[in-house]
Structure 1
Amino acid sequence: MCDIIGRKREIAELRRYYDSGRAEFVAVYGRRRVGKTFLIDEMFHDNMVFHHTGLSPYDRRRKITLRDQLQNFYFSLLRQGMEDIAQPKSWMEAFFLLERFLETCDNGARQVVFIDELPWMDTARSGFLTALEAFWNGWGNMRHNLLLIVCGSATSWMLDNLISNKGGLYGRLTGEIKLSPFTLKECEDFYLSRGIKMSRYNTTQAYMIMGGIPFYMNFFNPSYSLAQNIDALFFARNAKLGDEFERLFNSVFDNAEDCMRIVRLLGSRHSGFTRKEIAEKTGLNPNGDFSKMLKALIGSDFVVKYVPFGMSKREEHYKLIDSFCWFWLHFKEGKRIGQEDYWQRHLKESDVASWRGIAFEEVCLQHIAQIKYSLNIAGVSSQQSAWVVKGDEETEGMQIDLLIERADDVVNVCEMKFYKSPFVLTKQYAQVLSARMQTMEKKFPALTFHLTYIGCTELVRNEYSDIFTASLTLDDLFVY
């Protein structure tokens, strides 16, 4: 097994399932490209008796059918040593053949069976779930040396049909693992392991674009600068990630076009939209399928649902949190750029600077645990949200993109700044911040508000900086 970056908790869980001495049925899920297959392959490649991957439904030429999936499963059986069998005509027959194969090669040792991209195998009216249920309930759960691991990027399918199954597979999973994108520290370790030298400033910028997704990061050329790598991956002719947005959604979601429509809308406002607003602005019918799409986007870590500060649960908002999608919508789809060295030539333009500010706020939102640890409040229960106050003729509107509302009645009001040089708080901006704090204290008198600086660089100490009760830098986001 090669060195795996991060994933310590997941590795410990998988080892526990392997050593349990009983039949185990484990589901591993998470955003596409996050490294699920790599983790399982590296953990168990020496002990894997059977490995199969479903065929991707993303094919511009034709639709993948049940026959295609069954043929692919048949070939996997042949490749891994099964002989003298005909191609199965149903999933019930296919899983029976798998039972025969596993019995034939059973020597008493742990048998690891890995079925990757399981949701892709469940084509319309295929009877796949019924056959999987029969395989596990009628045979697998009695094999004390069997470790069945299934993976899927279609997180909503994994949640609905396995983890929250109400039918024959109800309660049958013995374990579930959700794999999340890398943290900044794990990205730093990943780049170092690949011989890629980058400052923490550039590692953070890379995170703003790649979102901690190992598959994307693996394309980086060590001899290129960050800007050169971004051009090569997104803007060059035949760029490796040139069609990734559509490919990503088509391979994960049944209603890919509608899901992309929702994401495009969410990408137009940093604070997000209510369910009603999303339905109205996209023209989608707010029915059960609409709810499933929102649930699927949340489950796949593209979207988060939150209640804006000071509002009731009826005001729940949906917000885009995937850094890759933010970057794609702003620069690839929004601009239709034809310049192959675009990123290198436009690094200092105001549009890029404006995007960096928003993107850094997203990075902070994805590192709440590190922020809390650095503020010495890791043990305090909390929830994070945003607060938007619409202005009128008498009062000026304001927006705070990150508040950490704590169980001890303290709220950290986070001011996030992505500047290359140390941040100097001016008298004018200090007055703006002070006015915001006074507004919040007046509106919520039972709470204590701590203005908290989170920046790429240090906060310069001057006559105005004492308005901040705490200040964090990039190093505090890289703690683990």
Structure 2
Amino acid sequence: MNKILGREQEKSKLLKVLNSKQAEFLAIYGRRRIGKTFLIRHFFNKKGLYFELMGQHDTSYKIQLENFYIAILKTFQPDIPIKKPESWKEALSILTIFIKKHIFDQKIILFFDELPWLATKRSGLLQALDYEWNTEWNQIDNLKLIVCGSASSWIIDNLINDKGGLHNRITGTIHLKPLTMKESAAYLKSKGVILKPIQLLELYMVMGGVPFYLNQVEKGKSSIQIINNLCFQEEGLLFNEFHRLFRSLFYHSDAHYKIIREIARKGNNISRKALIESTGYKSGGGLKKILNELKSSGFIKEFVPFNKKERDYVIKIVDEYTLFFLQWIEPLQSISPIIHPNYWLNASKEPKYRTWSGFAFEAVCMKHINQIIKSLKIENLAAGIGRWQFIPSKGSKNNGAQIDLVIDRFDKSINICEIKFANEKYVISKSDAKNLVNKINVFESKTKTKKQIFLTMITTMGIKKNIWSEDLVDSEVILKDLL
């Protein structure tokens, strides 16, 4: 499949880069397997002279230069032999010589894929790139330089926010994020895979909108079969994917894993202060660097609770596969079991499935805030979103409360959203109703808000009407609204 599905904003940006009347330097970043290489290759296919060099993980400087040499031969097919470069400065100078032979022919697209793997500390590539861009390439109006990397924090620190020679040289950036549920459904449909919304959701809660994972989905199988084959067979892609993924992204991946594991252990909701106390890290550069790397790679996100200051943020895991791996796959790896062919069918009946599915559906909803707001018809009213909780002190008779999603509005109103996953219409029981009333009362009391409160239920299949739903619920959002 060579067609780019979805990615409308990204394609629009790439088209502007291509049609620009000046040299462009575009940096693309996003978690591994997200489709960065596919997007660039297929968008720029047959749109000009295209040179591509892909970095290799944990590969020597010498081999990377050999790969460059092969790419030069493949792209330019020189009539006479050329000397193999012995440094990146020499290599990029050779590239410039060949570029200038085609300077008036067509667009020139230079694509350096997985740049962090190419530009290791002593390689000198960044310095050579800095020199070549500033002295030669930025003067070639039809040249488009594109660099990308899965180590997102490296791209941000060394290119986008660089204070050295590449400072302010980047002319554009693209943060490539996972596909939405709607885009994922279109992607699967292009493969002949058509699933009901609830089965599509279960797949999305396991693998998110990661194209490489979605590409493994087989036609004619249910979500339970697909998950079982990919996640609970030793040869399944996602059974051993997690540690491969972390090792390829982070130089000291054990530290990143420790942080991720602790966030999950604390119910996927932890403050920075609590994280420092539970892990033993000091509040300094080391922890900040790890959190920034996890955040920029799309594994975690910081949420500022409603009515709180920015420094009071809580940290949550937002990568669906990570949540799934820690809950379901990792325990099996540690005991090396013989996995039953119907493992996931049986596991989905366990009580912990309810806990996991609740967290996972909430993570999905947080990635589809725009769709939720659109469904509520408050696109022009929504002022901000957040979470909120109140934990009473020990010995206090006050009730605590936690609200999944708070949507603050410009019209003196607030939507308090309760997110519930179920395989059928959700039934609000008497105890549920009491809990919802408590949440609203505690929220109003502790925030001292004078705004109108609307209770919104976000569910998979909708809510079953009864006296409690009629009394309490002001609006609904269902799974189909996210598609």
Alignment of 1:160-309 (within 5 A): 160-309=157-306
Amino acid at match of 2:53: H
Against the structure 1 CA distance between its residues 48 and 198, is the aligned structure 2 distance closer, same or farther, given a 3 Å change threshold?
farther
Tell me if structure 1 keeps the 8 A contact 2:373–2:382: no
Tell me if structure 2 keeps the 8 A contact 1:270–1:320: no
Secondary structure of the residue aligned to 1:464 is helix
Amino acid at match of 1:8: E
Distance apart, 1:245 and its partner CA = 0.7
Against the structure 1 CA distance between its residues 111 and 201, is the aligned structure 2 distance closer, same or farther, given a 3 Å change threshold?
same
Alignment of 1:55-454 (within 5 A): 55-57=56-58, 64-80=59-75, 81-82=77-78, 84-336=81-333, 338-341=338-341, 342-391=343-392, 392-393=394-395, 394-443=397-446, 444-454=448-458
Secondary structure of the residue aligned to 1:399 is strand
Tell me if structure 2 keeps the 8 A contact 1:182–1:213: yes
Distance apart, 1:477 and its partner CA = 1.1
Distance apart, 1:270 and its partner CA = 3.9
Tell me if structure 2 keeps the 8 A contact 1:271–1:401: no
Moved more, 327-336 or 274-283: 274-283
Amino acid at match of 1:416: I
* Unaligned ranges ≥5, structure 2: none
Against the structure 1 CA distance between its residues 306 and 346, is the aligned structure 2 distance closer, same or farther, given a 3 Å change threshold?
closer
Deviations 1:69-108 (A, max 9, x none): 2222222222322452232221111111111222234442
Provide the aligned C-alpha RMSD in A.
1.8
Deviations 1:411-460 (A, max 9, x none): 22111111122122223321221122112122223333211100011222
Tell me if structure 1 keeps the 8 A contact 2:268–2:316: yes
Moved more, 16-25 or 309-318: 309-318
Against the structure 1 CA distance between its residues 240 and 7, is the aligned structure 2 distance closer, same or farther, given a 3 Å change threshold?
same
Q: Which residue in the other structure is 1:26 paired with?
A: 26
Distance apart, 1:231 and its partner CA = 1.6
Against the structure 1 CA distance between its residues 271 and 449, is the aligned structure 2 distance closer, same or farther, given a 3 Å change threshold?
farther
Against the structure 1 CA distance between its residues 69 and 420, is the aligned structure 2 distance closer, same or farther, given a 3 Å change threshold?
same
Distance apart, 1:271 and its partner CA = 4.8
Distance apart, 1:187 and its partner CA = 0.9
Report the TM-score, using the length of structure 1 for normalisation. 0.94
Q: Which residue in the other structure is 2:474 paired with?
A: 469
Tell me if structure 1 keeps the 8 A contact 2:199–2:222: no
Amino acid at match of 2:132: F
Moved more, 413-422 or 401-410: 401-410
C-alpha distance in 1, partners of 2:103/2:310? Answer: 54
C-alpha distance in 2, partners of 1:212/1:373? Answer: 20
Amino acid at match of 1:436: K
Amino acid at match of 1:327: F
Tell me if structure 1 keeps the 8 A contact 2:401–2:442: no
Amino acid at match of 2:408: E
Against the structure 1 CA distance between its residues 417 and 381, is the aligned structure 2 distance closer, same or farther, given a 3 Å change threshold?
closer
Deviations 1:104-125 (A, max 9, x none): 3444211111111111111122
C-alpha distance in 1, partners of 2:159/2:380? Answer: 32
C-alpha distance in 1, partners of 2:136/2:340? Answer: 56
Amino acid at match of 2:196: S
Distance apart, 1:353 and its partner CA = 2.5
C-alpha distance in 1, partners of 2:327/2:216? Answer: 21
C-alpha distance in 1, partners of 2:281/2:49? Answer: 45
Secondary structure of the residue aligned to 2:265 is coil
C-alpha distance in 2, partners of 1:453/1:295? Answer: 33
Q: Which residue in the other structure is 1:61 paired with?
A: none
C-alpha distance in 2, partners of 1:280/1:458? Answer: 40
Deviations 1:110-156 (A, max 9, x none): 11111111111111222221111011111110011111111111110
Deviations 1:354-400 (A, max 9, x none): 21111111111111111011111122343332222224441333322
* Unaligned ranges ≥5, structure 1: 58-63
Deviations 1:329-365 (A, max 9, x none): 1111134354153213322222222211111111111
C-alpha distance in 2, partners of 1:173/1:298? Answer: 22
Tell me if structure 1 keeps the 8 A contact 2:116–2:151: yes
C-alpha distance in 2, partners of 1:396/1:293? Answer: 35
Q: Which residue in the other structure is 2:40 paired with?
A: 40
Secondary structure of the residue aligned to 1:207 is helix
Tell me if structure 1 keeps the 8 A contact 2:185–2:194: no
Report the TM-score, using the length of structure 2 for normalisation. 0.93
Q: Which residue in the other structure is 1:7 paired with?
A: 7
Q: Which residue in the other structure is 1:457 paired with?
A: 461
C-alpha distance in 1, partners of 2:236/2:73? Answer: 36
Against the structure 1 CA distance between its residues 70 and 319, is the aligned structure 2 distance closer, same or farther, given a 3 Å change threshold?
same
Amino acid at match of 2:180: T
Tell me if structure 1 keeps the 8 A contact 2:399–2:442: no
Amino acid at match of 1:452: T
Identity %: 37
Amino acid at match of 1:411: I
Secondary structure of the residue aligned to 1:379 is coil
Tell me if structure 1 keeps the 8 A contact 2:110–2:144: yes
Amino acid at match of 1:372: I
